[in-house]
């Protein structure tokens, strides 16, 4: 579509409203346009103004009233697509068609061993490795540090480096605070070391290590709440009218809204804000405390949001039992506005669970 845009199309795009507005965002999200230009506008608007650029139904409150420069960017960069071709289908057939001594490939396949819902469970690492070994051209590959492929590449004598990348919500689902993701970069040619910073990092703390076991907002887990189910774990996610470690306070209504949105727009559970664990943890209950009550030594205030999960993964359960994983953590975006009642206090929009 971008390759076909003429000047009349660009003029029409510029006349469309590109200011962030929640009501418009929700109308577009529910809309089913038929024209190509309207479809493009809907896609670009939702992509730009969705929370974390995740294209979910959650509007990014920090973008309200902000005008996107999308038409300018399209006009500046669309010409680069002139000779670009997009193919959909099995990767091996496409690679075999174009492979030659003068071809350069860049691969970024699904990362086996992670749970980001992008097809990693069906990715055949051994088949992909066999393809890499047979290439006539050059290739550059980015991949995770789990699965079989990193070891296969190392045994095959390919150039292999570990790199650490800062990730946030725009580049990784479920992340609010900046985090570090360790990846490998592999190639069948000598890589040039640039001067932007350290490239080969082999001492990075991996997800699950003690050095990484720290939550942005931690509330202790309650284990043993169900004696008949050892791996049933209950925890408080948000508590109303209590100042947290970040100095935020949430009303009962804000807690209720956050709990309801979590279930309505459930996108999965994450570990340490770095990887999805949907296949390793199951949500059993999500509820608001109807009255004040106690579970063992833990007092629960009326209106508190509690979440109960079952830990299926032996590795994760071991971390819960040893105390390496100590609580539920939430992340999100918020706009702070001055509280008229006090110059020192601030109120915050509800944060979305990661």
Domain boundaries, the chain: 2-81, 91-204, 212-348
* Per-residue confidence (pLDDT) for residue 338, from 0 to 100: 53
pLDDT at residue 220 above 60? no
Q: Which two tokens stand for residue 261?
A: 């949105």
pLDDT in tens, 29-46: 999 999 999 999 999 999
pLDDT at residue 307 above 60? yes
DSSP state letters, 119-130: SGGG--HHHHHH
Instruction: Tell me the pTM.
Output: 0.49
pLDDT at residue 203 above 50? no
pLDDT at residue 194 above 90? no
pLDDT in tens, 268-292: 666 654 556 667 788 888 899 999 8
DSSP state letters, 130-173: HHHHH-SSEEEEEE-SSSSHHHHHHHTT-EEEEEEEEE-TTTST
Q: Which two tokens stand for residue 153?
A: 């590449």
* Per-residue confidence (pLDDT) for residue 331, from 0 to 100: 61
The rounded percent of the chain whose pLDDT value lies above 70 is 69
Helices 70-77 and 7-15: crossing angle in degrees, nearest 10, is 160
If you average pLDDT over residues 117-128, what whole number do you get? 80
pLDDT at residue 135 above 70? yes
Indicate the pLDDT class of residue 312, thresholds 50, 70 and 90.
confident
pLDDT at residue 123 above 70? yes
Residue 347: what are its φ and ψ, rounded to 5°?
-105, 160
* Per-residue confidence (pLDDT) for residue 70, from 0 to 100: 92
Please count the residues of the chain.
Answer: 354
* Per-residue confidence (pLDDT) for residue 313, from 0 to 100: 82
């Amino acid at each position: 579509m971008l390759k076909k845009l003429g000047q009349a199309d660009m003029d029409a795009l510029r006349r469309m409203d590109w200011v962030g507005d929640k009501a418009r965002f929700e109308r577009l999200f529910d809309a089913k346009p038929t024209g190509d230009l309207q479809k493009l506008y809907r896609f670009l608007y939702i992509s730009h103004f969705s929370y974390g650029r995740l294209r979910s139904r959650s509007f990014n409150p920090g973008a309200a009233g902000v005008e996107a420069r999308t038409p300018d960017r399209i006009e500046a960069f669309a010409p680069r697509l002139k000779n670009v071709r997009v193919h959909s289908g099995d990767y091996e057939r496409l690679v075999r068609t174009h492979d030659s001594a003068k071809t350069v490939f860049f691969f970024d396949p699904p990362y086996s061993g992670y749970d980001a819902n992008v097809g990693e469970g069906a990715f055949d690492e051994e088949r992909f490795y066999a393809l890499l070994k047979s290439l006539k051209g050059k290739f550059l590959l980015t991949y995770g540090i789990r699965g079989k492929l990193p070891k296969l590449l190392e045994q095959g004598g390919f150039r292999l480096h570990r790199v650490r990348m800062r990730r946030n919500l725009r580049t990784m689902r479920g992340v609010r605070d900046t985090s570090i993701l360790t990846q490998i970069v592999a190639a069948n040619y000598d890589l040039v070391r640039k001067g932007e910073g350290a490239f080969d990092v082999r001492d990075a703390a991996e997800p699950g290590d003690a050095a990484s076991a720290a939550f942005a907002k931690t509330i202790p887990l309650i284990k043993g709440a169900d004696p008949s189910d050892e791996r049933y774990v209950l925890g408080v996610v948000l508590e109303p009218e209590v100042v947290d470690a970040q100095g935020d306070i949430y009303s009962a209504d804000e807690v209720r809204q956050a709990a309801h949105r979590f279930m309505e727009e459930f996108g999965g559970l994450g570990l340490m804000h770095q990887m999805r664990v949907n296949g390793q943890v199951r949500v059993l209950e999500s509820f608001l405390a109807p009255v004040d009550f106690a579970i063992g030594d833990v007092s629960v205030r009326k209106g508190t949001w509690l979440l109960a999960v079952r830990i299926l993964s032996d590795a994760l359960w071991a971390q819960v039992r040893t105390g390496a994983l100590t609580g539920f953590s939430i992340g999100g975006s918020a706009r702070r506005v001055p509280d008229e009642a006090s110059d020192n206090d601030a109120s915050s929009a509800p944060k979305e669970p990661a």
